[in-house]
Amino acid sequence: MINKKEYNINLIGYNRPDSFKSTLYNLSNTFYPNGIIINLIIHLDYCDEEMLKKHLHILEQLVWPYGDITLNSNSYNKGLRTQIESVIDNSSDEWIIMFEDDLELSPLWFKYFLQTMETIQRLDISHVLGVSFYSYLISEVTYQNFTVINPESYLMNIAASWGFAINKKEWITYRNATNYKNVDLPKRIKKWGDNSWKKELIRYMIFDNKYYVFPPRSYSSPSGTSGTNVRSNKNLFVTPITTYVDRGNIDTNNVYSVTGYKIVNIRLQGNMVSAEIDLYADLNYSTLEYVLSPIKSKIKYSISDSDRTYLESLGISLYLHSSVEYFQIKRKSKYKSHRHKFRYYTFYDVLSTLVRW
């Protein structure tokens, strides 16, 4: 795909001509390298004759010298989930690029995409399902601040919807899979409506350890306009748009769970283990052997400098006593293990017990 000379951009629209016009303007002002054909495929949902005329009027004013424009429209309400899933199902592209019509975009998003594609192929990262153009400041799952220590792209066990590219081969595997259906989702995702196309995809990603690549800064952002799955807290996830293009480097050791917390490596009883952090008891399922939840007692441990910095950013106090490192979680948690299908283990329990699911 590194030498590919033609790409398709899918724009999903609703009966919102003003938002459509804004996102279309962003796409037309994107930096596209010379010699590459960029086709724009527009999919309009719930667009009656009058609304269609408004969208066509906007398209008549569009300057698009990059390739062809195709318009698909239906007058009935097909629904966001059905619309997106059908577009991906019917696409023959190796990577399907998709935007909804309520997004603000950086003119550098496509350059970031090309550089990220090159990195994925060069590093042969097989567990990447998609690439996000959006970068979190607030976790969708916990509504807590999202912290990234390393200023490079990172992997996260969650699907992106505010501007993304998805791998068709991985998508087909997901669509044909059935063994993930019993995976329990984090509490907030579980409350998402049936019209959320990424709810089931996230369930599959958790089960099969699939990831999206996220940039260290956002190349896209929701505009704050109300949409199918955004009716409350609609400005919570609006982020600044970057004017700086990243090199597309991916730190494959910088991995985040679905809750938005970094998966850390800790040496316990002489063994290095990967652990998922759950400060607020949001998880109902994990494929990792250890889930680290709040504690009251101090536990001896060993950890890398980068993970130490990250834990400190979460409010975990680290200090030395008689040349031995200890940690203690200071913040008050909502930890209530009896409400979940599997038992949560504190750091103290982890020292002597192997948790299996």
Position 270 scores a pLDDT of 66
In a domain, 357, yes or no: no
Whether residues 121 and 231 fall in one domain: yes
Predicted confidence at residue 259, as pLDDT, reads 86
Q: Are residues 136 and 87 in the same domain?
A: yes
Q: From CA 23, how far away is CA 30, in angstroms rounded?
A: 11
Based on the fold, state whether residues 221 and 281 are members of the same structural domain: no
* 326 in any annotated domain: yes
Across 168-314, the runs of DSSP E, i.e. the strands, are 211-214, 220-222, 250-256, 264-268, 271-277, 290-293, 299-300, 302-303
196 and 289 assigned to the same domain: no
Q: Which of 204, 228, 256 is the last residue of a domain?
A: 256
Identify whether residues 76 and 171 lie together within a single domain: yes
Question: Residue 18 belongs to a domain with what CATH number?
Answer: 3.90.550.10
Phi/psi for 40 (5° steps) reads -110, 120
What pLDDT, on the 0 to 100 scale, is given for residue 174? Answer: 97
Residue 170 lies in a domain: yes
Residue 84 lies in a domain: yes
DSSP structural state of residue 338: G
Q: What is the count of structural domains for the chain?
A: 2
Q: Which of 97, 87, 88 shows the shortest CA–CA distance to 220?
A: 97
For residue 109 the two structure tokens come to: 């998003």
Same structural domain, 207 and 279: no
Domain end (from 238, 256, 274): 256
Same domain, 219 and 235: yes
The answer to whether residue 96 is domain-embedded is yes
Closest CA to 212 of 165, 264, 260: 165
For residue 355, being part of any structural domain is answered with: no
> Do 317 and 248 belong to one domain?
no
Burial readout 210-230 (b: 16 or more C-beta within 10 A, e: otherwise): bbbbbbbbbbbbbbebebbeb
Assess whether 239 and 275 both reside in one domain.
Answer: no
* Domain co-membership, 328 together with 212: no
DSSP 8-state symbol, 160: -
Q: Are residues 41 and 190 in the same domain?
A: yes
What number of other Cβ atoms are within 10 A of residue 352's Cβ?
9
Q: Which domain holds residue 106?
A: 6-256
Extract the tokens encoding 255: 């991995």
Give the residue from 228, 256, 284 where a domain finishes.
Answer: 256
Q: Residue 1: inside a domain, yes or no? A: no
**Same domain, yes or no: 75 and 120:** yes
Question: In this structure, is residue 268 part of a structural domain?
Answer: yes
CB 129 within 8 A of CB 210: yes
Could you list the mean pLDDT of each consecutive 10-residue stretch along the chain, which spans 357 residues? 84 89 96 96 88 91 96 85 96 97 96 96 94 94 82 94 97 96 88 91 94 96 65 74 87 90 75 74 72 51 67 59 42 35 36 29
CA neighbours closer than 13 Å in the CB half-sphere of residue 234: 12
